[in-house]
Every structure is written in C-alpha cells, then in structure tokens.
Amino acid sequence: MGGIDRRRFLKRAGIAGALGGAAAVPMAGELVLAQGHKHKEAVREHGRHLAQSVTRGDHGHGMMGTVGRVDHDSNGFHPLEILTDFDGGRTSRDSSGRTVREYEFVAINKEIEVAPGIFFPAWTYNGRVPGPTIRATEGDRIRIHFTNTTDHRHTIHFHGIHPAGMDGVPGQGEVGSGETFVYDFIAEPFGTHLYHCHSMPLVQHIHRGLYGAFIVDPKKGRPPANEMVIVMNGFDTNFDGENEVYAANTIAFGYLNDPIVIERDELQRMHVINVTEFDPINSIHLHANFFNLYRTGTSLQPDEFTDVISMAQAERHMIEFTYRHEGRFMFHAHQTEFNDLGWMSLFEVVA
Amino acid sequence: MSAQAAARPARGVFVRVGVALLLIVAAAGAFKLFDEFVSLRAVPPVEELAIERVELDPDRVAMTIRNDGPDPVRVAQVLINDAYWNFEIGDPELGRLESTSITSDYPWEEGLPLGIVIVTSTGVTIEHEIAAATDTPDLGGSTFVTYALLGIYIGVIPVALGLFAFPFLQRMSRRWLGFFLALTVGLLAFLLVDTLGEGLELAGETATALDGLGLFAIGALLAIAILTTLEGRLAQGSSSTDRSEVKGLALAYLIATGIGLHNFGEGLAVGAALAVGEVALGTFLVIGFALHNTTEGLAIVAPLGRDGKRPPLVQFALLGVVAGVPTIFGAWLGGFAFAPAWATLAFGAAAGAIAQVIWTVVRSMKGDAAITRSLPATGFAVGLLVMYATGLLIA
C-alpha cells in the first residue's frame, strides 16, 4: 500500500521536478527567442529607413567610407581652404633689401573632428591641423613669434638649413607654458619642406598635430600652375600605437566628400608631405594620369615620370601633372589599408 | 483595547521605516544637488560596449550592441575588416545598459574571419572577431528540425542506450554496484568541473554590467536550493525507515535532472557554436557525444540496481526524457537566440544541479556498508577517466 503510493508519488514528484526545471527554461527561452526575433525585426525595420542622426554616405563608390559629415565650422578650418591657403606672412624689407616675412604662431590644444563623429584631442599651431603653410622665396628672412599656451613644452623645428640656435629642439627654441621664442632664419634651400614640433616624446609631439608645410620657391620662380598642399597624416584615436584614421589634410575621406575642382589642361603643382606616425611608409597615387616627380622639390628638373610615389615620414615631393580629360578621378595612398581608413580623395576635372 | 495596543506598535514601525526611507532619499537628493565629488569625476569617460549578437545574412551584417559601462557612449563609425563601411544605426547615443542595432551591407565571405570594430566619438575602439563567418540560421521549420535532431542524437539516444545497461547492473554483486555508483560520482564530478569552467568562461563574455559571475552564482544556488527541496519532498514520501535519504528511483530521477540541466547547457553550447560556424558537425563529434552521454545513462541507472527490483519500463523512458530532451531545447536556444547572459545562467543552474546530485549520491552510498567496503575509489577514478577520454573525442 505504502509502496504503491510511494511509487506514484515519486513518479509525479520526479516528473514535476524535472519538468518544472525544464519548463522554466523554455519560458526563458521563449523570452530570449522573442527578443532575438524582435531584434531581427528591428534590424530589418531600420534597414528600410535612414537613421535620424546619421545619413548614408553614398559617394557612388559602393558602401565604403564613413557615415555622415564633419562639421568644419566647429573645427575652424576647411580642407578645401587648407589646400591652397599659402601664407606669405607680414612682409617688409630689411636694410639690405631682403624680404622679411613675419608670422605669429601659437601652440593651442584643440579637439578636432577627424572623421564624422570621431573627435581627437589635437595639439595645434594656430588652432588648425596641419598648421599654416609658410610660403617664401629662397633667401627671404623668416621670423616667427612662437607663443605656447599649452601645458606641454613645444618647439618649431624646420626642415631647412639654419643655425643651431634656430633648430627648434629641446634647449634651442623650446618654450614652456606662457613663454615665447622668436625663430629667425633665412629660407633655404628652395623646395617643398615642412616643420614640426621636436619636443619629446617625439612620436606624440608630431602625432598630436604639430606640423605644417614650409614651401620655399626658387629665386627665379617656377612656371605658373595651380598650386596645392597635401599633408598626409594619420590619427591614433585610441592611443594603441596604430592609426585608426588616415587622411589627406586631416579629414578622413575629406576630398571624397568635397572633391577638389581643377581645370582640364591646366598645370597642377602639388606639394605632398608625409607626417604619418606609426606607419613606416605612405604613398600617393593618381588615377588615370602620370606626374612629374620633383624629389623634395629641390630641383628645377623632374626626377621621374610616374603615377605612384612612396614616402617615409618627413619625406615630401613636388609633383606636377595636367589632366587632359574631364570627370572625377581618385587619388589616394596605394597602401590600400590607408585608403579604406580615410586617405582617399577625388579630383573633379572641369572644362 | 488589546486590538488597539496591537495596532499601535505596527503603525509606529511603519512611521519609523517611512522616516528612515525619507532621510535616505533626502540625503541622495542632496548629494546629487551639491555634487561634492565633481572634481573626482574629472576623468575621461569609461566607454564599454558589448556586441551581444551578430547575425549574418548574404551581404549583410546585423549586430546588437549594448552599453556595458558606467558612462554614455556615442557610436561614431564602424570598421568591418579594417575598412570604414556604411552602416545604419538605431540610436547612436547609448545610455547605461541601453542597446541598439547596427546593420551594414557588407559582402562578407563564407568561412573567412570577419572583424568588426566600433569607433566611438572619443576615438575608443571596441572589437569583435568572428573566426569563420557563416550564414546565421533563420527561424524556420527545417532548421528547427535540424537542431531538434541534433538534440536527439547527442542527448536522448545516448542516454537511452545507457539506460539499457540496467539488466546488467541488476545481476551485479553489491561490491560491483558500489563500483558503479562510485563511477557515477566520478562522472558527475568531471561534469561539474567541466560545467564550472565553461560557465565561468561565459560569465566572462557576458556584458560587464549584467554581472556574469552573479548570474552564474544565482543559477547554481537556485538549482541547489530547488533540488534540495525536491529531494526533501521525495525523502518524505519514502517508506524507508531513514527519512532523510533518497534511494532507488527517486535518486535516479535526481541524477537525471542534474544531467538534464547539464545537457541543456551542452545543447546550448553546440547550437551556438554551429550557428556561428565554429564547429563542423562531423562524425567524430556525434560519436564523441554519444559515448560521452551514454556513460551518463549508466550513471542514472546505477542507483536502481541497488533496490533489486526493476521499475516499470515507462520509468526508464521518462528518465531518458528528463536527461536527454533538454539537449534539444538547449540546441534551439543556442542556435537561434544565444546571448551570453542567458547561457551563463543556464550553465550555473547545471553546475548547481550536478553538485547537489553528487552530494546526494555520496550520502546515499555512505549508509550502505556493503557498497562502501571496496572498489569505490577505483570506480571514482574510472568515472573521471572515462569522461576525460570521451571528452577528447568531442574537443
């Protein structure tokens, strides 16, 4: 009698217990399944609409590229302006008749938007990256009043020929917070050059944005051309030793969104400067065209006729080319990973 | 008079508790208002995102992400295989624990790795790597059946096979029965360690904010509590003189429940791995699981051999169902709706159940002098070794 009761009880209790445990699970599973289903639905839903705060970045190049647009007004500089704003400084003549060009440089910390929605804490000359493009003729005197408003010590180190005291390295031209130093030297040799901060640690002082172009024209000048400056740079936004963003003049896909308009059959002269940190090499490649390569711009004769040139850091060249056909032509690094990460640009050749 | 006296202390307690609560709320409000610690919080935001689920369809990647950290996160861009790619997002601003979905039309390749990186507004990157991209199974009829079959092959059938060992056990001497009970304990001990390991690994993958370790502990402790209560009820219904012990069929059911929960976790793991293409359903896997789980069937019937009489056949069928069928549910869940948080809970429950069952079996063995006389240590060792060896086949 007790045995039959026990058997029935055990059977029921056993099943109840096991099924109780198993039942809770499908219920939870139901919830998870429903959630998974809901997510799939939501995903399909959003796939049909454009999200409110983000627009589809369609450049006619498939689905690659960043989404959205950079707010250049907030940045305080526009890639199309940086391209051509050669700064001759405040000119005057000294007693020997030499042209003197004076500049005000201020080291400022600024958060800049390097890709839509991605902000980078930059160290800048005059609130822009790259810094002002200094343009002079060989033999001019350059005088730069450099004030540092930041907490780190900074310098301006020029790639050119100058005395040791003007070299812009720690101990020779380095300024701390609130201090000023006046750089004073003769612009030589002619060519496409650059300047950058040389405080230590050097990687950070360059990577954070303290660099710019320094163009010195030969005394007799060059044939007229449409001139541009492209500074190839990169940004390690998460500070892990690798760049997450690559660019021509700071903004990822900047000239893809705002193509550079140039005229057909017009001579183009582009000063290309590499200041990319963390990667040993960068390059520039023009589509559908070849260029005359003037290595470092220090020669009046071209060194090579090619469509791609590799550059290590601080290498820079002057390239000249003419487009004979109208339309849109890409130019970009041929390290294709840089391409996919922002160093991809467009010419729009018009009649 | 006495009723009023009884009511007054009750009201007094309420008033005091109410005042205490009000004071806490006022203090919290004042803290927030005056914010004395604002200077201590002048640090960069801690940005964490958990990529909870990735669904792959032909030329389309869809993922669900959740803000896993203490500070709000704004999603800026998405990198797929080291290239910025167009995407659509529900809401790029994610507050604490908020989730959203991101879709991108990306031509991913079958079987090749897929690397997804989310870049936030501060430039922080959150990575997610899929070892071998494969089409996520849709919630459809045929895939349901496939996963159910999977559950049957690796769960139900092997356990049933193990149950067939019962006649063999019945004819065994008490000493050898002790050996097999010890083998059961060894088996279960191995399963416990295995489940603990996998569960803790899943806890690590769970969104930090959801506290994977906590979920695991909750699962384990709840399972232990439920099974202990169950065991107590079963012992009360027993007609044996010792009311605190569970024997025979009841013990078999307890073991079957513990193993069933473990098999649910196993199904979950296999289903999830299949869904992301991490494992190929080769013959090795099926054979391995079959052997692995057949020995589990043995463990379930070991206590039955002691009573001497054979329970009705329907009991064997039910034991098989309890131990094997959860594999099917696990496979379904793992294949279609896997999320580390739920899996952690499930594995926690399995671990707790197995631990409780081990304890029950050991206690039931201690009372029986004939069983513990010799061979139990060997049985324990053999149980461990058998599980390890069959485990190698499914590695």
A3 close contact with B: CB closer than 8 A: yes
Q: Which of B79, B377, B340, B306 is nearest to B204 (CA)?
A: B340
Pairing of strands A291-295, A304-306: antiparallel
Considering only CB atoms, B253 lies closest to which of A18, A66, A238, namely A18
CA atoms within 13 A on the CB side of B297: 26
Considering only CB atoms, B260 lies closest to which of A18, A42, A119, namely A18
Q: Which of B51, B47, B46, B80 is nearest to B66 (CA)?
A: B51
Mean pLDDT of A246-251: 97
A1/chain B closest Cα distance in angstroms: 10
Residue A24: pLDDT over 60: no
Task: Give buried/exposed letters for A73-103 (b at 16+ CB in 10 A, else e).
Answer: eebebbbbebbeebbebeeeeeeeeebbbeb
Q: Which of A179-193, A282-296, B44-58, B298-312 has the lowest mean pLDDT?
A: B298-312
The residue that leads in pLDDT, A350 or B46, is A350
What whole-number distance in Å separates Cα of residue A153 and Cα of residue A164? 19
Token pair for residue A215? 């163009």
Mean pLDDT of B248-253: 80
Residue A44: pLDDT over 70: no
Q: Report the pLDDT value the prediction gives residue B280, as an integer from 0 to 100.
A: 57
Q: Give the confidence band of B133 by pLDDT, cuts at 50, 70, 90.
A: confident
The residue that leads in pLDDT, B86 or B164, is B86
A325 close contact with B: CB closer than 8 A: no
Token pair for residue A299? 């020669």
Residue A63: pLDDT over 70: yes
Residue of A nearest to B60 (CA): A47
Backbone angles phi, psi at B255, to 5 degrees: -60, -40
Q: Report the pLDDT value the prediction gives residue B36, as an integer from 0 to 100.
A: 64
A50 close contact with B: CB closer than 8 A: yes
Q: What is the pLDDT of residues A84-135, one digit of tens each?
A: 999 999 999 999 999 999 999 999 999 999 999 999 999 999 999 999 999 9
Q: In chain B, positions 122-141, which contact chain A (CB-CB < 8 Å)?
A: 122-125, 139
A73/chain B closest Cα distance in angstroms: 18
Cα distances from A88 to residues A50, A85, A254, in angstroms, run: 46, 9, 25
Q: Best interface-test mutation with B: which of A4, A5, A10, A58 has the largest number of B CBs within 10 A?
A: A10
What whole-number distance in Å separates Cα of residue B162 and Cα of residue B383? 14
Q: Give the confidence band of B281 by pLDDT, cuts at 50, 70, 90.
A: low
Which residues lie across from A38 on neighbouring strands?
none
- Whether residues B257 and A17 touch (CB distance < 8 A) is answered with yes
Q: Which of B288, B320, B287 is nearest to B301 (CA)?
A: B320
Q: Report the pLDDT value the prediction gives residue B371, as an integer from 0 to 100.
A: 57
Q: Give the confidence band of B139 by pLDDT, cuts at 50, 70, 90.
A: low
What whole-number distance in Å separates Cα of residue B314 and Cα of residue B316? 5
Classify residue B256 as left (phi > 0), alpha (psi -120 to 50) or beta: alpha
Which residues of chain A lie closer than 8 angstroms to B256, CB-CB? 14, 18
CA atoms within 13 A on the CB side of B307: 17
B169 in Cβ contact with B304 (< 8 Å): yes
A239/chain B closest Cα distance in angstroms: 9
- Whether residues A33 and B76 touch (CB distance < 8 A) is answered with no
Considering only CB atoms, A238 lies closest to which of B125, B238, B256, namely B125
What angle separates helix A2-48 from helix B248-275, to the nearest 10 degrees?
Answer: 10
Considering only CB atoms, B119 lies closest to which of A36, A46, A237, namely A237
- Average pLDDT over chain A reads 87
Considering only CB atoms, B83 lies closest to which of A15, A39, A340, namely A340
Q: Give the confidence band of B380 by pLDDT, cuts at 50, 70, 90.
A: confident
Q: Report the pLDDT value the prediction gives residue A12, as an integer from 0 to 100.
A: 54
Q: Count of CB contacts below 8 A, A vs B?
A: 194
Considering only CB atoms, B249 lies closest to which of A10, A26, A32, namely A10
Longest dimension (CA), chain B: 83
B160/chain A closest Cα distance in angstroms: 17
Q: What is the pLDDT of residues A140-169, one digit of tens each?
A: 999 999 999 999 999 999 999 999 999 999
Q: Give the confidence band of B314 by pLDDT, cuts at 50, 70, 90.
A: confident
What whole-number distance in Å separates Cα of residue A343 and Cα of residue B214? 46
- Whether residues B250 and A65 touch (CB distance < 8 A) is answered with no
Place of tokens 């996160």: B73
Q: In chain B, positions 311-330, which contact chain A (CB-CB < 8 Å)?
A: 311, 315, 318, 322, 325-326, 329
Q: Report the pLDDT value the prediction gives residue A185, as an integer from 0 to 100.
A: 97
Q: What is the pLDDT of residues A183-231, one digit of tens each?
A: 999 999 999 999 999 999 999 999 999 999 999 999 999 999 999 999 9
Token pair for residue A315? 């290498």
Q: Report the pLDDT value the prediction gives residue A107, as an integer from 0 to 100.
A: 97
Residue of A nearest to B99 (CA): A39
Q: Report the pLDDT value the prediction gives residue B372, as an integer from 0 to 100.
A: 60
Q: Report the pLDDT value the prediction gives residue B340, as an integer from 0 to 100.
A: 79
Token pair for residue B99? 């989730």
Considering only CB atoms, B123 lies closest to which of A6, A51, A119, namely A119
Which residues lie across from A251 on neighbouring strands?
A248
Place of tokens 């069983």: B371
The residue that leads in pLDDT, B388 or A147, is A147
A147 in Cβ contact with A154 (< 8 Å): no
Q: Give the highest mean pLDDT range of A185-189, B44-48, B173-177.
A: A185-189
Q: In chain A, positions 20-49, which contact chain B (CB-CB < 8 Å)?
A: 20-22, 25-26, 28-29, 32-33, 35-37, 39-40, 42-43, 46-47, 49
Q: Which of A215, A197, A322 is nearest to A272 (CA)?
A: A215
Q: Report the pLDDT value the prediction gives residue A347, as an integer from 0 to 100.
A: 97
Q: Report the pLDDT value the prediction gives residue B88, as an integer from 0 to 100.
A: 95
Considering only CB atoms, A118 lies closest to which of B121, B233, B349, namely B121
- Whether residues A56 and B226 touch (CB distance < 8 A) is answered with no
B346 three-class SS: helix
Pairing of strands B49-57, A268-274: unpaired
Cα distances from B207 to residues A33, B52, B69, in angstroms, run: 19, 8, 9
Q: Report the pLDDT value the prediction gives residue B164, as an integer from 0 to 100.
A: 79
- Whether residues B329 and A66 touch (CB distance < 8 A) is answered with no
Q: Give the confidence band of B35 by pLDDT, cuts at 50, 70, 90.
A: low
A340/chain B closest Cα distance in angstroms: 5
A278 in Cβ contact with A243 (< 8 Å): yes
The residue that leads in pLDDT, A3 or B330, is B330
Q: Report the pLDDT value the prediction gives residue A41, as an integer from 0 to 100.
A: 43
Q: Report the pLDDT value the prediction gives residue B136, as an integer from 0 to 100.
A: 79
Which residues of chain B lie closer than 8 angstroms to A337, CB-CB? 82
Residue B327: pLDDT over 60: yes
A316/chain B closest Cα distance in angstroms: 26
Which residues of chain B lie closer than 8 angstroms to A256, CB-CB? none
Q: Report the pLDDT value the prediction gives residue A56, as an integer from 0 to 100.
A: 39
Residue A265: pLDDT over 80: yes
- Whether residues B318 and A29 touch (CB distance < 8 A) is answered with no
- Whether residues A46 and B90 touch (CB distance < 8 A) is answered with yes
Q: Is the dihedral of CA A302, A308, A313, A318 positive or negative?
A: positive
Which residues lie across from A319 on neighbouring strands?
A270, A293
- Whether residues A6 and B239 touch (CB distance < 8 A) is answered with yes
Q: Which of A169-183, B117-131, B380-394 has the lowest mean pLDDT?
A: B380-394
- Whether residues B90 and A51 touch (CB distance < 8 A) is answered with yes
B346 close contact with A: CB closer than 8 A: yes
- Whether residues A15 and B318 touch (CB distance < 8 A) is answered with yes
Residue A57: pLDDT over 50: no
Q: Report the pLDDT value the prediction gives residue B245, as an integer from 0 to 100.
A: 52
B264/chain A closest Cα distance in angstroms: 9
Q: Which of A142, A133, A130, A127 is nearest to A86 (CA)?
A: A133
Instruction: List all residues 6 or more positions away from B206 whose beta carbon is below 8 Å from its beta carbon.
Output: B50, B212, B215, B340, B341, B344
Burial class (CB in 10 A: 0-12, 13-18, 19+), B377: exposed
- List, as own/partner pairs, every contact residues A97-101 make where C-beta atoms lie below 8 angstroms and the sequence separation is at least 24, other chains included: A98/A139, A98/A140, A98/A141, A99/A136, A99/A137, A99/A139, A99/A140, A99/A141, A100/A140, A100/A141, A100/A143, A101/A134, A101/A136, A101/A140, A101/A141, A101/A142, A101/A143, A101/A187
Instruction: List all residues 6 or more positions away from A295 whose beta carbon is below 8 Å from its beta carbon.
Output: A303, A304, A317
What whole-number distance in Å separates Cα of residue B189 and Cα of residue B228? 18
Residue A17: pLDDT over 50: no
Residue A48: pLDDT over 80: no
Token pair for residue A254? 């900047």
Q: Give the highest mean pLDDT range of A29-38, A165-174, B154-163, B207-216.
A: A165-174
What whole-number distance in Å separates Cα of residue A38 and Cα of residue B6? 53
What whole-number distance in Å separates Cα of residue B89 and Cα of residue A35? 18
Q: Report the pLDDT value the prediction gives residue A52, as an integer from 0 to 100.
A: 28
What whole-number distance in Å separates Cα of residue B313 and Cα of residue B320? 11
Task: Give buried/exposed letters for B125-142 (b at 16+ CB in 10 A, else e).
Answer: bbebebeebbebbeeeee
A119 close contact with B: CB closer than 8 A: yes
Burial class (CB in 10 A: 0-12, 13-18, 19+), B5: exposed
Q: What is the pLDDT of residues A232-244, one digit of tens each?
A: 999 999 999 999 9
B250 close contact with A: CB closer than 8 A: yes
What whole-number distance in Å separates Cα of residue A238 and Cα of residue A241? 8
Q: Give the confidence band of B333 by pLDDT, cuts at 50, 70, 90.
A: confident
Residue B289: pLDDT over 80: no
Q: What angle do CA B51, B56, B60 make, to 5 degrees?
A: 105
A103 in Cβ contact with A126 (< 8 Å): no
The share of chain B scoring above pLDDT 70, in percent, equals: 84
Token pair for residue B144? 């349901």
